[in-house]
Structure formats: C-alpha cells, structure tokens
Amino acid sequence: MDLVSLTEKIVKSIVKDEDSVSVKEFPTEDENTILIQVMVSEEDMGRVIGKSGRTSNAIRTLVQASSSLKENKYVKIDIDKF
C-alpha cells in the first residue's frame, strides 16, 4: 500500500467528517525524506492529534514502519486544519 493512501485510511478511520480529509505528498530537498501533509476540519483536529500528541505520533510510527519495509525513507507528516 502507498504511504499516502495508508495515511489517508488511518486518518479517515479517526475523524467524524471523512469527506474533509485531504492527504498529499510533497517533494523535499532530501531525496531520503517523504513529506506528507494531512488536512482535516477544525473540529477533527483534536481527534487526529490526540492527548499530548499520542494519536499523531502513532500515525507517524505506523507510516514510518511501512516505509522502512518498502522504501526505507524518513517520513514527515504535517497535520493542519482547513
């Protein structure tokens, strides 16, 4: 599974408004780094970040583990609201 679609599937399973979720990959200067930007509605920000950032860290860990199995690149995930 593609890292962007994996991230999108995980985030959509957490939020209430699945239609407002947007996940895109952006190029970085370092070719060993993948930048994934996640956009969610303002009311779903708390669900995606979680208490003390635990949910967002868990998402990053899952996507990073998937990357290490296939591409072995460092994954950065930015979470923002509309």
**Is-above-0.75 flag for pTM?**
yes
The CATH number linked to 54 is: 3.30.300.20
Rounded alpha-carbon distances, angstroms, from residue 26 to 4, 44, 70, 81: 10, 23, 19, 17
Number of folded domains that form the chain: 1
**pLDDT given at position 70:** 86
**pLDDT given at position 82:** 83
Average pLDDT per block of 10 residues along the chain, 82 residues long: 93 95 94 95 95 96 94 92 87
Range of the domain at 73: 3-81
Q: Residues 6 or more apart from 79 whose CB is under 8 A from it?
A: 38, 40, 45, 48, 49, 56
Residue with tokens 């967002």: 56
